[in-house]
Amino acid sequence: MRRREFLKLGVVAGGTVLLGGTARFGILVAAPNEIPSVDRLVLTNLVDNVYDIFAKGGKIGNVTVTRSTLPFPYGSDAMLLSEHGLAYHLQSFRGDEEKQILLDFALTPRTLTNNYQGLRVDPSNADALIISHGHVDHYGGLLDVARSLQGRAKPGLTLYAGGRDTFCHRWVVQPDGKQLDYGELKRDQLETRGLKVALAEEPTVVAGHAITSGHIPRITDFEMSPPAARLEAGATGSACESTFHFPPGTVKIEAKPGDLVKDIFWGEHATAYNVKDRGLVVISSCGHAGIINSVRQIQKSTGIEKVHAVVGGWHLAPYPDEIIAKTVEALKEINPDYLIPMHCTGFRTMMAIEREMPQKLILPSTGTRVVFGG
């Protein structure tokens, strides 16, 4: 890997540990005893596309699922809001130590702020922030969070991004040629508001409890980045020049600044926890790298095979049935204890899981809290 970046990350991001040593592009393998474990993980689905108060909750096998019910959750005075977006609160415990991580930040500040209040999540307790990729339905509330944390954040609070392309301008080109602006997260605006930004291009331990995947190698032959997704090329030498987000030696794209090039989401990363006596909880956000690729990368980089749960957006909603079927088959092979398909996963995939592995399915809903571990 780039030695200078390795050192920079170690200095910038207090509490960060990169797994392994010298390999490039996130295919490091660390001994399982180097991977942190947690006794318990409380995962809150802060914002999601659906809000279903009748989704099954309670004790499901060895996890506890708490649903928000109307009118106000947990005695709060804020009604939860749903939108096309995703945000998580991740609270983990190891012995007496507790850590909190905010992963992704919904589409709108209004929804995110409202649901923080409704679910009694205080961003100033965060030990780290993670952004999965540079689409606005995942970073929409982040600038507001950074603003609200000025002077209140824990010292050195760091946002972990999976690559420089997180901060490039994103577009979606529709079949009729219409271009939809999918946003541009501006790194300097975050830093101006006091956040440190670290590029976790390799597998990285965050806040001593969580693990990020680093770049996710594409190893399946059926998963793909969304064909309509585009990245706006920046000036040569800038963070968004057209070639930088492709691994060197693989693809060379010539483009002028302002051109829209195919977006392969090189820097999208997944987050995971190693829950004691249960296994990995793998959390994807939009899954443009492929949910199977994501799980496999976490398994490989941690050296841990057992997957307790696969959570998140898997971006299968717009894809053909054949890809959904292959993904579900691959999930059966991985054999997690639980599957929690959120956000952009889509109804057909949920139905396929319900058909094939009904005992593993936990339905998503804004406000849901799942407790993994003892």
Helix, strand or coil, per DSSP, at residue 124: helix
C-beta closer to Fe ion: residue 286 or 328: 286
Closest approach of Fe ion to the CB of residue 286, in Å: 3
Taking the least distance from each CB to Fe ion, the nearer of 105 and 244 is 105
Minimal distance in Å, beta carbon 20 to Fe ion?
Answer: 28
Six token digits for residue 220: 């399946």
Instruction: Tell me which long-range contacts 193-196 makes (C-beta under 8 A, separation of at least 24).
Output: 193/143, 193/146, 193/147, 193/149, 193/150, 194/146, 194/149, 194/150, 194/151, 194/153, 194/157, 195/129, 195/146, 195/149, 195/153, 195/157, 195/158, 195/159, 196/12, 196/13, 196/156, 196/157, 196/158, 196/159
Residue with tokens 């965060």: 126
Nearer to Fe ion, 199 or 286 (CB): 286
- Contacts with Fe ion by CB under 5 A lie at 135, 137, 286, 344
Smallest separation (angstroms) from Fe ion to the CB of 29: 28
Residue 351 Cα distances to 226, 318, 346, 348, angstroms: 22, 15, 9, 5
Within 94-242, where are the H helices?
A: 109-118, 136-139, 142-149, 187-192
Q: How far is the CB of 94 from Fe ion (least distance, A)?
A: 30
- Give the nearest distance from C-beta 92 to Fe ion in angstroms: 24
Q: Is the CB of 13 or the CB of 90 nearer to Fe ion?
A: 90
Whether the CB-CB separation of 47 and 62 falls below 8 Å is answered with no
Q: Report in angstroms how near the CB of residue 139 gets to Fe ion at its nearest.
A: 10
Residue 73 or 88: the one with the smaller Cβ distance to Fe ion is 88
- For the purposes of burial, counting CB atoms within 10 Å of the CB of 181, is it exposed (0-12), middle (13-18) or buried (19 or more)? exposed
Considering the complex, state which of residue 86 and residue 157 has its C-beta at the smaller distance from Fe ion.
Answer: 86
Query: Tokens 């980045």 correspond to what residue?
Result: 225
Give me the least distance between CB of 62 and Fe ion, in Å please: 29
